[in-house]
Structure 1
């Protein structure tokens, strides 16, 4: 026999709705009224199911990372594609998410992380945002360090610096997407960042 009263709402849908509120308004800007209205629940249900606002934010952020980041990361290990094509596909897919119009534009993590310096975000939530913010750079660093083609092209020699360049580009496109720039406006930024870490020079040397 299961304990407790059965929820009269879909927890997954409610959590997804909360994530969209935080994406649009940030942690500080998202009020309990905003959250409960979008989630379709009352405050007692929010507290009994998710805990306080910080606990809800942590769960929503983890869900974002699971749903978005992990699926996008698979593009970096796709078979039968060059390293440049895999990196381009990954970055363009991230850009596509940033430019989606049916939810908050930009990057969820970048949007919320911009509030960390204010000191108004609780410590656990702030730590999670810092970790999530480093995840893209760490993923790209690992790819450029371990990928055999990256080693052949010499891109692994400065893997961390190259990864920082690409991850900084994605932070920039997130901000621009939030300011209203479209995907077609920003695609060239991705292309130039790939040239910036030396892909064209490497490919010319190899041919």
Structure 2
């Protein structure tokens, strides 16, 4: 969560009369701009008050969330220090993160992309499209960002969790379905779409991956560290 929010103030049940989160809404999602043109990746609702299907959204959520007294969605993990919206939807935005691991033992490698928005090494993945299931999104995002087609592979679903995303706010956040794909050996991968690059990295352990990424002058996306750690725990059972 945002570091400006003390741990003892994150819970929504804790009174904080002077709480003043920063509005992170970009110009294209502000009410005046939405009245003129709605970006293709975003909903038209200028505020959560303009959303009328909260019952459906809550029942379909990967991670349960509550509404406040005015009917606005509340981040499941508490205050973030941010308000507004820098994501496609108010409330939960569902994502899919395919973790592709090839080989075993000291030959084990993980497929990561270089994100074009923040320039870090990350799991390929992205938002679930309207009408799309998480398994479909896992396959599509992997194919679009790396050229790797695993539609004939059955992944292991590792979890469905809120992700520490740099665009999150008190009223909009990301929850991801993370899944593990196992391959006997690496396959050709090429960065495309939202990926500047795609590479296989040594991943005998998270420390080994960290060292390799750092040695290459790159940075591992912090929000994906817990997902990668969980995949390694599953592999090392």
TM-score (norm 1): 0.26
TM-score (norm 2): 0.24
Write 1 or 2 for the structure with the bigger share of strand: 2
